[in-house]
Amino acid sequence: MALGRAVPPPHPARPGRPLLRPPKEMPKRRAFGSMAGRIALVHALAHIELNAIDLGWDLVARFSGQKLPHAFFDDWVSVATEEALMFLLSLALATALPSAELPRTLRLDYFHIGTAQEEHFALRGLALEGPWPGSLLQTIDETNFGSYFFEVRDVGTNRVLYSRGYSSIFDEWEDTSEAKQRSRGFSESLRFPLPRAPFQVISRTPAGAHTVRAPAREVSPVRSRRVPMMQRIFVSSAR
């Protein structure tokens, strides 16, 4: 098959956005362990693959008038085809990822108090932290790991928004000889993506479930890192 003749442009055509900038003007890359970092990585890979497609076909067009072996052009057509496949895969992955506008992290602090025979929970307060660093693709925990388990439920629909199993320092301490003789308290925390509607946190222990109601209107302000709680609760369970 004849390659034909082509007059390539001075450089491969590019869309108006994203802007092409020198490396020194680029912002520092995010940590790829967070969801925001993974989103940035996938988008960067998609742009790299798109540029590689342009490069492959540009070489075919730019040297079409040269007396080069046919295999030279076959190789670059293969490169462009493979890069196009990688671009489509990157595009599909980018579409599946959540929005880059990640929710804030809500930290629920509480005191875990008790002995080897009983345990008590006292809500300490709530704090808003930075963007949620975990996965938003697997918000429901089905592993059944950990001695404790908590769910974040929408108050209006009772739908589970987030759940995780976990173990605590108290869980380790209650098996000691000290726990059989005296009571002791530990400061513990639960972290989860900040819900947009009123919600409740249900913590399940080996002795049963306890509910912590936390209306979203009390935790939505971002002016202060620590968010005041209007109510304090104290729940207990005998083992």
First and final C-alpha spacing in the chain: 82
Residues 6 or more apart whose Cβ sits within 8 Å of residue 132: 35, 102, 103, 104, 105, 193, 194
pLDDT tens readout for residues 13-59: 666 666 667 777 766 665 666 666 777 788 788 888 888 888 888 88
In degrees to the nearest 10, what's the CA dihedral of 235, 191, 169, 31? 180
Q: What is the pTM of this model?
A: 0.51
More confident residue, 116 or 4: 116
Please choose, from the candidates 58, 104, 62, the residue with its C-alpha nearest in 3D space to the C-alpha of residue 79.
58
Q: What is the DSSP string of 32-82?
A: TTSHHHHHHHHHHHHHHHHHHHHHHHHHHHHTTTS---HHHHHHHHHHHHH
Q: What SS3 state is found at 156?
A: coil
The predicted model gives 201-208 an average pLDDT of 72
> Does residue 235 have a pLDDT over 50?
no
Burial (Cβ within 10 Å: 0-12, 13-18, ≥19) of residue 220: middle
Q: Given this model, what pLDDT does residue 231 score?
A: 29
pLDDT value of position 75 = 92
In order, the DSSP letters of 172-238 are: HHTTSSGGGT--EEEEEEEEEEPPSS-EEEEEEETTEEEEEEE-GGGT---SSSEE--S---EEEEE
Confidence category of residue 3, pLDDT binned at 50, 70, 90: low
Higher pLDDT, 49 or 228: 49
Question: pLDDT tens, 79-130?
Answer: 999 999 888 888 787 777 765 567 889 999 998 999 988 888 888 888 888 8
* Per-residue model confidence (pLDDT) at position 197: 85
| Residue 42 confidence (pLDDT) | 82
Residue 100 has what pLDDT? 54
Helix 70-96, helix 35-62: angle, nearest 10: 160
CB neighbour class for 223 (10 Å; exposed up to 12, middle 13-18, buried from 19):
exposed
Q: Contacts for 135-138 with beta carbons within 8 Å, 24 or more apart?
A: 135/35, 136/35, 136/98, 136/102, 136/193, 137/96, 137/97, 137/98
User: In the predicted model, is pLDDT for residue 239 greater than 60?
Assistant: no
Among 28-42, 54-68, 187-201, 209-223, the range with the most confident prediction by mean pLDDT is 187-201
pLDDT digits (tens, 9 = 90+) for 128-179: 888 888 777 788 998 888 888 999 999 889 999 999 999 889 989 989 999 9
Q: Quick one: tokens of 108?
A: 């629920």
What pLDDT, on the 0 to 100 scale, is given for residue 62? 83
What DSSP element (H or E) covers 110? strand 104-114
Provide the 3-class DSSP secondary structure of residue 169. Answer: helix
The Cα diameter of the chain in Å comes to 91
Cα gap 200→153, rounded to integer Å: 5
